[in-house]
Amino acid sequence: MSARRPMVLVLIAVGLAALAAYPTVGTGYGVRAMLQLFMWIALAGSWNLVSGLTGYVSFGHVAFFGIGSYATAILITRAAWPWLPASLAGGVAAAVLALVIGYPCLRLKGPYFAIAMLGLNEVLRVLVSYFEGLTGGGLGLSLPTLQATLPIYYVMGATAAAVTLLTYLILTSRFGLRLMTIREDEIAAEALGIDTFRHKLSALLLSAVGPGIVGGLAARDQGYIEPISVFPLATTITMIVMVLFGGKGTVWGPVLGAAVLFVFQEAVWARFIYLHQLLFGAIIIAVVLLMPRGVLGLLQLKYRLPRTI
Amino acid sequence: MTPRALGSLVLIVAAAGGTLPAAAQGPIRIGASLSLTGTYAEPGRFQSEGYKLCEKDLNARGGLLGRKVEMVVYDDQSMPATGVRLYEKLITEDKVDAVMGPYSSAISEAVANVTEKYKKVMVAPLAATTSIFKKGRRYAFMMVSPAEVYLEGLVDIAAKRGYKTIAIINEDTLFPKSSAQGTEELARKAGLQVVFKEAYPKGNQDFSGLLTKLKASNPDVLAAATYFDDAVAIARQMKELDVNPRMFAVTVGGDIPRFQELLKQTAEYIYGSSQWEPTLPYPGAKEFHDAYQKEFKHEPSYHAAAGYAGCVIYAEGVKKVGTLDADKVREALLALKTRTMFGDYQVDKDGAQIAHKTVLLQWQEGKRVVVWPDDLANGKPRFPR
């Protein structure tokens, strides 16, 4: 284990360096596809932080993405903020939202949180449409034209890396052990003296920041947002599928799931327009039936890989 | 390794390494992403068929600049983010020679940033929101008349008949909302009093609350900025609740045959707006209709006609200057003034459409009759009782 460690670090460093150098050789499409992949890694990794570790399934994680998008777009258009601080503010906005929804809901055990998150997304979409003075309502918000794909590529990549690193740090900490205890048996966790409410809420706050920042970056890169395209339930579903595929509660599971499914989608959907949704559905069913713990979960069981992978 | 496996390996490597440089006289490739699945699948498919028919017709007439034309079409799943990525792919990986616009204002708005970056002329046949073209973009061109004037005919007829009050309702998304705002402005200018105005969310199905309030304000005219499903639901529930304005118009949906099939007698007297009808006296409109019917075995919608016309207009621009050079084609398209099977084309200095007319239809005895403007009409508006 300790002998393998430097090897792993070197591998990671080489991988990161390759990704950092990629824009010098990649095409415009390649850079944008990688940017999108980073986005999915950050989203899936964030969902994994709360749902993979505590077992509290969030069916509305795209709400944090959406509020980050809107916070960023509003700061850029109405207050003329530069995009970088505006995106970070999007992360803060998402954390505040997580506090507001998590404080009442996570005091309860069981499925209430899942339902509340689902509702939260719908409520936000209606609210955004309603306060049109600020958000443009159904007209959407158009950001001033700016070509910043390259810097956004790096910031998006850094966010994905940060979420993955955070997952590693949590998984190897006492905090992470306590979260997993909650997942396995919440009553037992309480009996052990764990303040379950505070732990669940912290996990939710940490898992909201990433999507908030990523939402802001996506809004800036795309240049136009509207309520319907920013709060789609499908985005949450994709995050969940990526994590389930890769292995929930692991460090590299969301990265693996995002990479495999994103590449798969890119490759398949251009050729089989009507078939790819069917294939996506088939993957979900196959994963649940054949490897409910995901690819990494399966490998961990079979080859006794360390839990912190 | 078998020769076949070797061959496919070479192919894969070639594909991965980017497209090989095309021979000088290879086809002109025109790329587009369209909403073939998702929310906008219905109109998106019509538009893609319009592009395909245009490709076929251009090639039948010897292609463009003596080269064959080839359309490269992807599916953007009705998502702006996917559209953005696909245009980037079309331009930087597939290295297409030209692009055509996607479906819907929202997606056109998003992808226009990509096409501007690479200085590609983009005729956007189904972006009806003027603001897209008023942001200093240089290479985007608009084909249809703007959302704001969709119900110009309704207001015009009402004012001429001496009606005094109008109610305006709309779905709360980019296009219907612009449409409602425009109608309100036109109504005020024509001296109509706006007595009721309300928006409802996308996907709304129960309009009884809204219609009850509306009924209390007793308007002469009702203008509804809709898509298809809501237009049908509103018409049905008006009947149930006995809401009877003298004139009732919807923006999108009233022009589709299924509107009448679903509503039967209830559709009678209802007005709908349309960017195009096969019966309009435009040169080649009927021929387009017949060719389309033959090719795809169903009737074209105006989305199909707009897609076809957009492609024809782009080809026109290229022929004028004899090159694919974006700046030269742009100049040609800015100066162009023509009438296609889709109607008039002329843009202002920003590429926004100023000549195309949206017509007003009315359902009369189960048929669509064009009642406005007078020079394109094939019937007179009828009024109940």
Chain B positions touching A137 (Cβ under 8 A) are 172, 177
CB pairs under 8 A between A and B: 88
- Backbone phi and psi for residue B183, each to the nearest 5 degrees, phi listed first: -60, -40
Please report residues of A whose CB lies closer than 8 A to that of B105.
Answer: none
Q: Which domains does chain B show, CATH number per domain?
A: 20-145+282-345 (3.40.50.2300), 148-274+359-376 (3.40.50.2300)
Of B75, B110, B131, the CB nearest to A269: B75
Angle between helices A62-79 and A196-222 (to 10 degrees): 50
Q: Are B329 and B318 in contact (CB under 8 A)?
A: yes
Min Cα distance A231 → chain B (Å) is: 12
Q: Which of B184, B177, B119, B75 is nearest to B326 (CA)?
A: B119
Which contacts of B293-302 are long-range, i.e. CB under 8 A and separated by 24 or more positions? B295/B49, B295/B52, B295/B53, B295/B56, B296/B49, B296/B53, B299/B257, B300/B46, B300/B49, B300/B50, B301/B43, B301/B46, B301/B255, B301/B256, B302/B255, B302/B274, B302/B275, B302/B276, B302/B277
- Cβ-Cβ contacts under 8 Å for B39 (sequence gap 6 or more): A228, B78
Q: Is A55 on the interface with B (CB under 8 A)?
A: no
Q: What is the DSSP secondary-structure string of B353-365?
A: B-S---EEEEEET
Give B172's contacts in chain A (Cβ within 8 Å): 129, 137-138
- Which of A29, A138, A221 lies nearest to residue B92, judging by beta carbons? A29
Test mutation, A34, A83, A129, A139, chain B, max B CBs within 10 A: A139
Cβ pair B167, B195 in contact under 8 A: yes
Q: Which two tokens stand for residue B166?
A: 């109008």
Nearest CB among B85, B113, B118 relative to A223 is that of B113
Which residue from B minimizes the CA distance to A147?
B117
pLDDT at B91: 95
Residue ranges with strand state E in chain B? 28-34, 69-75, 98-100, 122-124, 140-142, 165-171, 193-200, 221-225, 247-250, 271-274, 338-340, 343-345, 359-364, 367-372
State pLDDT tens for residues A283-300: 888 888 988 888 888 888
Nearest chain A alpha carbon to B78:
A229
Name every chain B residue with its beta carbon within 8 A of the beta carbon of A277. 37
User: Could you tell me if A145 lies within 8 Å of chain B, comparing CB atoms?
Assistant: yes
Q: How far is CA B300 from CA B48, B262, B290, in A?
A: 11, 19, 9
Query: Do residue A224 and residue B93 have CB atoms under 8 angstroms apart?
Result: no
- Go through chain B and tell me how many residues it has: 385
**Of A32, A224, A273, which has the smallest distance from its Cβ to B88's Cβ?**
A32
In angstroms, the separation between the Cα of residue B138 and the nearest Cα of chain A is: 12
Chain A residues within an 8 Å CB radius of B79: 229, 232
User: Cα torsion at A133, A135, A136, A137 (round to 10°)?
Assistant: -100
Pick among A29, A69, A123, A266 to test the B interface (most B CBs inside 10 A): A29
Contacts of A139 in chain B (CB under 8 A): 174, 177-178
Confidence band for A66, pLDDT divided at 50, 70 and 90 = very high
* 3-state DSSP of B176-236: HHHHHHHHHHHHHHCCCEEEEEEEECCCCCCCHHHHHHHHHHCCCEEEEECCHHHHHHHHH
Out of A28, A36, A139, name the one closest to residue B178 (CB): A139
Which of B84, B135, B174 is nearest residue A226 as measured by Cβ atoms?
B174
Strands (E), chain A: 141-142, 224-225
What order do you get walking across the sheet with B193-200 strand by strand? B193-200, B165-171, B221-225, B247-250, B271-274, B359-364, B367-372
Give CA–CA dist A250/A256, Å, rounded. 10
Q: How far is B332 from chain A (nearest CA, A)?
A: 25
Q: Name every residue whose Cβ is closer than 8 Å to that of residue B6 and which is 6 or more positions away in sequence.
A: none
Inter-CA distances, A39 with A142, A280, B38, Å = 21, 19, 22
Q: pLDDT tens digits for chain B (385 residues)?
A: 454 554 444 444 444 444 444 445 789 999 999 998 887 888 899 999 999 999 999 999 999 999 999 999 999 888 888 899 899 999 999 999 999 999 988 899 889 989 998 999 999 999 988 888 988 899 999 999 999 999 999 999 999 999 999 999 999 888 888 899 999 999 999 999 999 999 998 778 899 999 999 999 999 999 999 988 899 999 999 999 999 999 999 998 888 888 999 999 999 999 999 999 998 999 999 999 999 999 999 989 899 999 999 999 999 999 999 999 999 999 999 999 999 999 999 999 999 999 999 999 999 999 999 999 999 999 999 998 7
List of chain A residues whose C-beta atoms are within 8 Å of the C-beta of residue B88: 28-29, 32
Beta-ladder partners of B24: none
Q: Cβ atoms within 10 A of the Cβ of A239, count?
A: 27
CA-based nearest distance B69→chain A, Å: 21
Q: Which of B78, B96, B99, B114 to mutate to test the interface with A (most CBs of A within 10 A)?
A: B114
Chain A closest-CA separation from residue B172 CA (Å): 5
